[in-house]
Amino acid sequence: MALFERKAEPEDPIGTGDAATRALSVTAVENDFVERVYDKLAKVYDLIWGPSLHPGRLQAIQRMGIQPDERVLEVGVGTGINLSLYPRDCSVTGIDFSGSMLEKARERAARKDLSVRLLQMDAADLKFTDGSFDIVYAPYLISVVPDPVKVAQEMRRVCRPGGRIIFLNHFLSPNAFVSRIERLISPLTIHIGFKSDLDLPAFLAQADLQPVSIEKVNIPKFWSLVTCIES
């Protein structure tokens, strides 16, 4: 199925009154903390988050509808677990803040003979010119960065008009009981690589993003695939 054949979910994900101003999460992090967490996770990331989150990765690639020669930026490439999923006839750039994760990605790319560009970079300060990419994709990243809105703004900046901006991530449950639990455990889950309570409506409103589709992925369906079109 092509990306644009999928309609957004019936409810308006940014239609809540205080979304534009409310806190995204109870948990605050800094870049050095994130780097330490992922440096520790580099050796075991694929075992912990590999097979369990792979259906979402496959669905994200499918929804992208990547065309020959399109330029793809993966923000938070990690160990490069997605790299072999991209078509060989597109141009792939991956960035990550963690040197240890990038080392694993480079080893994977060399082992699989993949022609990709891998760079160490802060997602909140992308060193690319405006409109450099056709697709900008953040898999399992946006809930761990210190400033999700700044990262989204940078993703928008480097995406060409009409290009696709895609987030694959866990977000705060709309269920009141579950969301209370997620907020309580968020300071703990950050140590295994994500905030469990990132508020999707607030994130979209504050990043000025209008999704064209939101799909639940993986089993159980605790993760969301959010697709936006850059205006």
pLDDT at 175: 94
Q: Which long-range contacts (CB under 8 A, 24 or more apart) does 121-124 make?
A: 121/95, 121/96, 121/97, 122/31, 122/97, 123/75, 123/76, 123/95, 123/97, 123/151, 123/154, 123/155, 124/150, 124/151, 124/154
pLDDT at 146: 94
List the chain domain ranges. Answer: 26-229
pLDDT at 47: 87
- Residues 87-139 have pLDDT tens digits of 999 999 999 999 999 999 999 999 999 999 999 999 999 999 999 999 999 99
- β strands within the chain, DSSP E: 71-75, 91-96, 117-120, 133-139, 159-170, 211-217, 223-229
- Residues 158-172 have pLDDT tens digits of 999 999 999 999 999
Quickly count helices (H) and strands (E) in the chain: 7, 7
Other Cβ atoms closer than 10 A to 221 = 11
Q: Which long-range contacts (CB under 8 A, 24 or more apart) does 109-118 make?
A: 109/80, 109/83, 112/83, 112/84, 114/83, 114/84, 115/88, 116/80, 116/83, 116/86, 116/92, 117/92, 117/93, 118/77, 118/80, 118/93, 118/94
DSSP letter, residue 67 = P
Mean pLDDT value across the chain: 92
Tokens 């993003």, located at residue: 209
> To which CATH superfamily is domain 26-229 assigned?
Vaccinia Virus protein VP39 (3.40.50.150)
How many CA atoms lie less than 13 Å away from 21 in the CB half-sphere?
2
pLDDT at 49: 87
Per-residue pLDDT of the chain (231 residues; tens, 9 = 90+): 344 444 444 344 444 468 999 999 999 999 999 989 999 998 899 988 899 999 999 999 999 999 999 999 999 999 999 999 999 999 999 999 999 999 999 999 999 999 999 999 999 999 999 999 999 999 999 999 999 999 999 999 999 999 999 999 999 999 999 999 999 999 999 998 899 999 999 999 999 999 999 999 999 999 999 999 998
pLDDT at 87: 96
Cα 99 to Cα 102: distance, rounded to the nearest angstrom:
5
Does the pTM of the predicted model rise above 0.85?
Answer: yes
Which two three-digit tokens encode residue 80?
Answer: 């490069």
pLDDT at 17: 61
3-class secondary-structure state, position 52:
helix
